[in-house]
Amino acid sequence: MILSILLLAAGTAFAAPSTGTAVRAPEESLRVMLADLRRKRTWEVREAVLGGAAEELRDAVASGDGAAKERLAGRLPGMAKDPFDICRDLETCREAPVSLHVEDAVIIDDAFRALARPWFKLQKARGKAVTVTVDPGTGVQLKLEGFPAVPVVTLSAEPTPTGGFDVTIEEGSEAAKAFAAERAAVLKTDKN
């Protein structure tokens, strides 16, 4: 009991922000918020992963062919080619991805950050802020300053019947269109 109280006090003291600390970048803030949330919900995530049917996906890959087989194989653990190394800069990010699939709950945070990254890059290029909130009931919300077409982008994760999780942007096609239009405007302005 005493050890638990000491660890809690030490953790609180360590986590308390000092007045001289630098402001975190939005991607770093999101990483910290997701890590905190994952620690709080470890058991729920573990149950969702263990309850999946990875064997069905494996069998679908074995019996598939062509592009369908390649797409399904990319969903198997460790088979996708750098799935989260997307949109590192605005110029090469022609469209904002709207969903990613992860098999391992440990890398869900990477998927959330990968889907949020284009929005961080766009807002930075526009000189506008992104406010990040994480709520277990709502998901990850990116509040985009001065972006009337899509003032809030909401990302969520759902367990899938074949195992793993789909991490998606709600109303993804509308958000992707708004991203593409604003990206084009920002890049056009930069070239002039």
Phi-psi bin for 164: left (phi > 0), alpha (psi -120 to 50), beta?
A: left
pLDDT band at 61 (very low <50, low <70, confident <90, very high): low
d(CA 132, CA 59): 39
Q: What is the pLDDT of residues 117-134, one digit of tens each?
A: 999 999 999 999 999 999
- Domain residue ranges in the chain: 24-81+96-191
Q: pTM for the whole thing? A: 0.61
